[in-house]
A and B are shown apart, each in its own frame.
Chain A
Amino acid sequence: MAVADSHDTHDDHHDLYDHGEFIAHHFDSAEQQFDSGKLGIWLFLVTEILFFSGLFVAYTLYRTNHPEVFEQAHVFLNKYLGGLNTIVLLFSSLTMALGVRSAQLGRNKNCSVYILITMVCATMFLGVKAVEYSHKWDMGILVRSSFDLTYTHPTPTTEIGKSLHISDYLVYLCIVPALLFAGFVVASAISKLINKNMLAKFLMAMAITVSGYFLGVCIGIIFMSATDAETGSSHASVIAEQPLMLLASTQDDHSDGDHDEADHDKADHDKAAGDPSHDGEHSDNEEHFGAHPADGGEASFDDHHPDPSTLDRDIGIFFSIYYCMTGLHAIHIIGGIIALGWLYWRSLLGHWRTDYFGPVDYVGLYWHLVDLIWIYLFPLLYLID
């Protein structure tokens, strides 16, 4: 509480500010407080949408300029995993809505259960995402500058990776959740021992929440191998359709890509010195941006596109956008989980009453927005054709 709140003159006009338990001193009524919170959260959601809008604009721009790249690139995304995550999030929105309803009715126990389910869904989503990310990193599908597509999956080197036949990256992505899980379980046990039952319950729920992540990882791996044939064949079809592109991708990244990354100043210097390859790259690049979308289409690619490496570069941009968008979204999911954890704690304390349930309502709205953003990301990234 604010230090300033406790000052002495407060008592003078106490009757004027005779408030219920959860009404902050500066509000006149529960209603005013609720309305303020509601308007506040809606405005916050507006800022969130605008925050993502920058990325959507970048997406639209690059997609209109290079539609072919988007068509080629999206086959590397597994739409079954994406679809699975969509369903998980939709379901979590449902449980969230039920949680809000229970809070409105003052049913704290139900509310806590629904919130727990929502949190588990959220971590499941992250688990599936981890499978997707690690698979891509294995194949060298990275952001533009480090994009280095290979079809061989490197053999795992970590012990766990070897024994479970999973990607090293996935193992790394599981370290923090594993530590969290262990931490929560131990902390829960300790609180139980010192008779802090409420805290023990809360920490246990957090452990369950984190375990959702591993559930997601498992389901993700199963889905992935089940649909492997499918995705494998689509990789293959790309190879068949566009041999040039793949050739370019490997070439570019071994000769030019490293060079770009290693030494910017040198690149500039080379350019000034009239290095032909760089001049080519720069002018080419300008042409690319000025070009009408049709110019950059398949036909020109096969027949008279001067430098196939441009296409490869743009495929990398698709994944740059993909990682920015889904990464930012994942950060929002994590933020959501923290907020939900706080709600869970307050439900355990039995804070919600028919006249006081604002926080659940607000976090619920936020959660629906995060869900909604995914509903846009999924078709835009995964379902391009």
Chain B
Amino acid sequence: MVDANTRQKLFGTPETNFLNCSKGWKSWAFTLDHKRIGIMYLIGVTVALFLAGIFALVLRSHLFTFDSTMLSDDMYNQMFTLHGAVMVFSFIIPSIPAALGNIVLPMMLGAKDVAFPRMNLASFYLWIIGTGCLLGAILSGKGLDTGWTFYTPYSIDTNTGVIYATFGAFILGFSSIFTGLNFLVTVNTMRAKDQGWFKLPLFVWSLYATAIIQVLATPVLGITLLMLIAEKTLHIGIFDPKYGGDPVLFQHFFWFYSHPAVYIMILPAMGVISELISVYSQKRIFGYSFIAFSSVAIALLGFLVWGHHMFTSGQSLVVTLIFSAITFTVAIPSAVKVFNWLATLYKGSILLNTPMCYALSFIFLFGIGGLTGLFLGALSTDIHLHDTYFVVAHFHFVMVGGTLTALLGGVFHWWPKIWGRMYNDFLGRVGCFLVFSGFNLTFFPQFVMGSRGMPRRYASYDPEFQAFHQLSTVGAFVLGIGILLSFVVLVYAAFRGPRCSSNPFRAASLEWQSSSPPDFHNFIQTPVLTDPYDFESQVYDEELDTYIPREFANPDKVAPRKEPVHH
């Protein structure tokens, strides 16, 4: 029990917080504070999202008619390459871990910062340099037309800016490794006293699994891209068939990273969803350890399935069969999560606010994305579907429908914590609705087109596909408007939104035991360790209009527990 003054000090709106504790651009550019770095990352990935999003809208506009002349064929190739490369390497991979994770992870552990703050800042600057190099391909006037996969031998022969772009991706890889390494160490050594592994929020588990992949897979991409650069400049003959090299070896190396990388993209998203579903159902997450271990299982199995991207590239039949079989097993842990979320919702007291709307969209869209992955993992269907719009639709359902949706949900969830201000929930939900419907309108027709044989990466197409493409283009603009609206809602809230309390959603993980916005040191006093999914541990405090841990509440006013504590 603490007195009202201390309560006010701990959970009231603070005078100084991490946002205003120091001023001037230097206090941001050289900050070592994980929250500020996270915010800078958030700004960075948003810029990347908008940039690559504009490329996407240009592409979709071009495809509005089958004989469009808006872009030349070369320009079309460059557009989709830059769209893909920027989205994958600069936006989606760092998005949730480096932006949201950075802000939230140390606080979930009750720590003051990540283990290596300088490395954290270095990661951000590497992100800037890497993205700069990637875009250097455009600025150099040469562009880039290999697709984000940089497949040899074309990437060796083309004289567009492959070297800039691969160097950029190489640097971005290090940025990602730095984040991953930092998180692994942070989770291992900086947990709150007595906070065992099974008392961690599931977001932490998912970031941990992600970090394992970042640390184990990214170096392989690094060396692969270096070899590609060496091949292009010195012609070392490892990938270039002209000099006796093996171009398929490049594909193996590339997917050895890039398949695990798709789990770098989705695992953090799953972690966010686990938090949102549980908090907004006010119900203990169902099957905690299943969700936790399925993250790790996905991370490890993810290393064994890269060959499913190469079913048609000339692998031996045996290898192909094995890859196909393991691909199916990856779907199991993914499904385990989905069922656990559904079970959590069951009989929960559901609050349909903006983050929850995003979370529900995620379950639906990721479900479709994951299931269509199985179509692609099955050999006979993949021969037909490979390199068609079906694949395009599949990965957009998981990457946009999954990761971007979860990112938005997570941002809405933690926004009040970060800024101490509340967003307009109605407009937030409108944004979510536009994103959800625009997204489906964009990508659902692509499944149909793909299964009817529309190949991906083509600048023109048969007239029979035009109706589908037009739906898709309209959808893309709706999606764009939805994202823009959410952006406006968030930015407005950050500066002008009404003040909000420390824990408006009655969440139980440790980051909500700080003030909103948090102090520079995150917690003014060591937080009391609560079970992150025991919402009864938080009680309403009238004076502060917020939820605070039972331990801090005025005992006269505390309602007794409804359910017993269980661990």
Interface residues, chain A, CB within 8 Å of chain B? 2-10, 12-13, 17, 24-26, 32, 35-36, 39-40, 43-44, 46-48, 50-55, 57-58, 61-62, 143-146, 260-261, 264-265, 267-268, 281-282, 285, 288-289, 310, 313-314, 316-317, 320-321, 323-324, 328
Annotate B140-152 by CB proximity to A: 1 below 8 A, 0 otherwise: 0000000000000
* B246 and A289 contacting across the interface, CB-CB below 8 Å: yes
Partner of A51, one of B115, B223, B246, B519: B223
Contact (Cβ within 8 A) A43 B222: no
Select one of A7, A54, A281 contacting B227, CB under 8 A: A54
Q: How far is the CA of A80 from the CA of B253 in the complex (A)?
A: 34
B335 at the interface (CB under 8 A from A): no
Asked whether, in the complex, the Cβ of A3 is within 8 Å of the Cβ of B31, the reply is: yes
How far apart are the CA atoms of A5 and B36 in the complex, in Å?
Answer: 13
Q: Contacts A9-B16, A320-B238 known; A2 to B224 CB distance under 8 Å?
A: no
Say yes or no: A7-B234 contact (C-beta < 8 A), given A26-B112, A55-B223, A260-B242.
no
> Other than the known A4-B30, A62-B238, what 4 A-B pairs have Cβ atoms closer than 8 Å?
A2-B117, A3-B27, A32-B190, A144-B243
List, in ascending order, chain A residues with CB within 8 A of B177's CB: 47
**B384 at the A/B interface (Cβ < 8 Å)?**
no
Q: Give Cα A53–Cα B221 distance, bound, in whole angstroms.
A: 11
Query: In the assembled complex, which residues on chain A have CB atoms less than 8 Å from the CB atom of B521?
Result: 13, 17, 25
By CB atoms of chain A within 10 A, which of B182, B185, B220, B241 has the most?
Answer: B185
- In the assembled complex, the Cα of A143 lies from the Cα of B33 at a distance in Å of 46
* 20 A–B pairs (Cβ distance < 8 Å), ordered by A: A4-B520, A7-B16, A9-B16, A13-B521, A25-B112, A25-B521, A26-B117, A36-B186, A36-B189, A44-B181, A47-B181, A50-B217, A54-B219, A54-B224, A58-B227, A144-B235, A145-B235, A313-B244, A317-B237, A320-B230
> Which residues of B (213-258) have their CB < 8 Å from a CB of A?
215-220, 222-224, 226-227, 230, 234-238, 241-246, 249, 253
Contacting pair A43 B185 (CB below 8 A): yes
- How far apart sit A314 and B188, CA to CA, in the bound complex (Å)? 47
Contacts of B230 in A (CB 8 A): 143, 320, 324
Which residues of chain A are within 8 angstroms of B117 by Cβ–Cβ distance?
A: 2, 24, 26
For A3, give its contact among B26, B113, B185 (CB under 8 Å): B26
Contact check: which of B116, B188, B237 meets A313 at CB < 8 Å?
B237
Interface members, chain B 169-210 (any A CB < 8 Å) = 177, 181-182, 184-186, 188-190
Q: Are A46 and B215 in contact (CB under 8 A)?
A: yes
A35 to B190, CA, bound (A): 10
List of A residues within 8 angstroms of B220 by Cβ: 50-51, 53-54
Q: Which of B114-146 contact A (CB under 8 A)?
A: 114-117
Q: Are B219 and A144 in contact (CB under 8 A)?
A: no
B22: interface (CB < 8 Å): yes
Beyond A43-B185, A47-B215, whether A144 also contacts B31 by CB under 8 A is no
- Report how far A281 CA is from B31 CA in the complex, Å: 57
User: Which of chain A's residues have a CB closer than 8 A to the CB of B245?
Assistant: 144, 317
Residues of A within 8 A of B218 (CB): 47
Do residues B219 and A9 form an inter-chain contact, with CB atoms below 8 A?
no
Contacts of B524 in A (CB 8 A): 12-13
- Evaluate contact between A50 and B237: CB separation under 8 angstroms: no
Is B32 close to A, CB under 8 A? Answer: yes
Given known pairs A2-B32, A46-B216, A321-B238, the reply for A264 and B223 (CB within 8 Å) is: no
Minimum distance in angstroms from B116 CB to a CB of chain A: 6
Closest to B26 in A: A3
A281 proximity list for chain B (CB < 8 A): 242
Which of chain A's residues have a CB closer than 8 A to the CB of B188?
36, 39
User: Could you tell me if B116 and A36 are in contact, using CB atoms closer than 8 angstroms?
Assistant: yes
* B157 interface residue per 8 A CB criterion: yes
The residue from A4, A40, A58, A316 contacting B33, defined by CB atoms under 8 A apart: A4
Question: When the two chains form their complex, are residues A32 and B189 in contact, meaning their CB atoms are under 8 A apart?
Answer: yes
Give chain B residues whose Cβ lies under 8 Å from the Cβ of A323. 236
- Given A51-B223, A260-B243, check contact A6 B22 (CB 8 Å): yes
Q: Which of B186, B222, B235, B253 has the most CB of A within 10 A?
A: B235
In the bound complex, do residue B227 and residue A50 qualify as a contact, i.e. CB atoms below 8 Å apart? no
For residue A58, which residues in chain B have a CB less than 8 angstroms away from its CB? 227, 238, 249
Contact residues in B for A289 (Cβ distance below 8 Å): 246
Chain B residues with CB under 8 A of A143: 230, 234-237
Q: For residue A31, which residue of chain B has the nearest CB?
A: B189
Chain B positions within 8 Å of A26 at CB level: 111-115, 117, 190
The verdict on B565 contacting chain A, using a C-beta distance below 8 Å, is: no
CB contact between B235 and one of A6, A24, A146, A314 (< 8 Å): that residue? A146
- In the complex, what distance in Å separates the CA atom of A178 from the CA atom of B497? 63
**Given A7-B22, A35-B189, A313-B244, do A145 and B236 touch, yes or no (CB 8 Å)?**
yes
B243 touches A316 (CB 8 A): yes
Instruction: Report chain A residues within 8 Å CB of B116.
Output: 36, 40
Contact assessment for A61 and B181 in the assembled complex, using a CB-CB cutoff below 8 Å: no
Which residues of chain A have C-beta atoms less than 8 A from B32's C-beta? 2, 4-5
Complex CA gap A256/B108 in Å reads: 63
- Cβ B223 vs Cβ A52 within 8 A: yes
- The answer to whether A264 and B242 touch across the interface, beta carbons within 8 angstroms, is yes
In the complex, B21 has a CB within 8 A of chain A: yes
Closest residue of A by beta carbon distance from B117: A26
With A9-B520, A51-B219, A317-B238 already in contact, the answer to whether A4 and B113 are too (CB < 8 A) is no
A43 and B246 within 8 A (CB): no
B2-32 residues with Cβ-Cβ distance < 8 A to A are: 16, 18, 21-22, 24, 26-27, 30-32
Inter-subunit contact B235/A9 (CB<8 Å): no
A308 to chain B, nearest CB (A): 13
**B115 / chain A contacts, CB cutoff of 8 Å:** 26, 36, 40
| Chain A, Cβ-Cβ closest to B186 | A36
Residues of B within 8 A of A317 (CB): 236-238, 243-245
By a CB distance below 8 angstroms, the chain B residues around A17 are 521
Instruction: Kindly state the separation between the CA atoms of A149 and B554 in the bound complex, as whole angstroms.
Output: 86
In the bound assembly, the distance between CA atoms of A141 and B271 in angstroms comes to 53
For A25, A40, A316, which residue has the most chain B Cβ atoms within 10 angstroms? A40
Query: Given A2-B33, A320-B236 in contact, is the A144-B224 Cβ separation under 8 Å?
Result: no
Question: Which chain B residues border A268 with CB–CB below 8 Å?
Answer: 157
Q: Which residues of A contact B519 (CB under 8 A)?
A: 9
Given contacts A58-B249, A285-B241, contact A4 B36 (CB under 8 A): yes
Report Cα–Cα, A9/B189, bound state, in Å.
Answer: 26
Is A3 within 8 A of B236, CB to CB?
no
Given contacts A51-B223, A145-B235, A324-B230, A3 and B244 within 8 Å (CB-CB): no
Q: Which residues of B contact A2 (CB under 8 A)?
A: 30-33, 117
Contact B236–A144 (Cβ < 8 Å): yes
**Chain B hits for A44, CB < 8 A:** 181
In the complex, the chain B residue whose C-beta lies closest to that of A309 is: B244
| Closest B residue to A281 using CB positions | B242
Complex CA–CA separation, A264 to B216 (angstroms) = 36
Q: In chain B between 488 and 534, which residues have their CB closer than 8 angstroms to a CB of chain A?
A: 519-521, 524
Complex Cα spacing A111 to B521, Å = 36
- Which residues of chain B (92-125) have a CB below 8 Å from chain A? 111-117
